């Protein structure tokens, strides 16, 4: 996952650091939930939603549970940051994306055994 760099030049992180990067971003967002740091957190959330959703889709679509869990924790942190961050994520996130289809349509809301997030 490439979370560093400018739009014109991206920095490729070495393999295996995707989960670490998502966990660090999750931690940064959680530390900005205090009133005097909220603006920085909203800016960070906005940048992730506007520029890196495709990479989060890829992480959710991974076979490895730790990638899925880290991406979902990061998305949860974005939603918890503020109502404006939650609204922006709701408007930008493609809920009809193929990765969400295995969970859609289950009346009991159960997650299929092959898709567990242990």
Q: Domain ranges in the chain?
A: 15-115
By C-alpha distance, which of 109, 99, 12 is closest to 53?
99
Q: Kindly report, residue by residue over 26-74, the tens digit of the pLDDT.
A: 999 999 999 999 999 999 999 999 998 988 888 888 888 898 899 999 9
Q: How far apart are CA 63 and CA 114, in angstroms?
A: 10
Find residue 11's DSSP bridge partners: 4
The three-state secondary structure class of 10 is strand
- Say if residue 53 is exposed, middle or buried (CB neighbours under 10 Å; 0-12, 13-18, 19+): middle
Q: What is the pTM of this model?
A: 0.70
CB atoms within 10 A of CB 20: 12
Q: How far apart are CA 34 and CA 31, in angstroms?
A: 7
Confidence tier at 2 by pLDDT (50, 70, 90): very low
């Amino acid at each position: 996952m490439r979370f560093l760099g400018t739009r014109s030049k991206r920095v490729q992180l070495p393999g295996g650091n995707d989960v670490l990067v998502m966990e660090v971003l999750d931690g940064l967002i959680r530390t900005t939930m205090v009133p005097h740091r909220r603006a920085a957190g909203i800016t960070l959330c906005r940048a992730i939603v506007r520029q890196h959703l495709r990479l989060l889709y890829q992480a959710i679509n991974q076979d490895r549970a730790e990638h899925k869990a880290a991406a979902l924790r990061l998305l949860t942190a974005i939603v918890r940051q503020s109502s404006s961050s939650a609204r922006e994520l709701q408007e930008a996130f493609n809920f009809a994306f193929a990765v969400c289809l295995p969970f859609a349509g289950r009346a009991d809301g159960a997650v299929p055994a092959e898709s567990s997030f242990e």
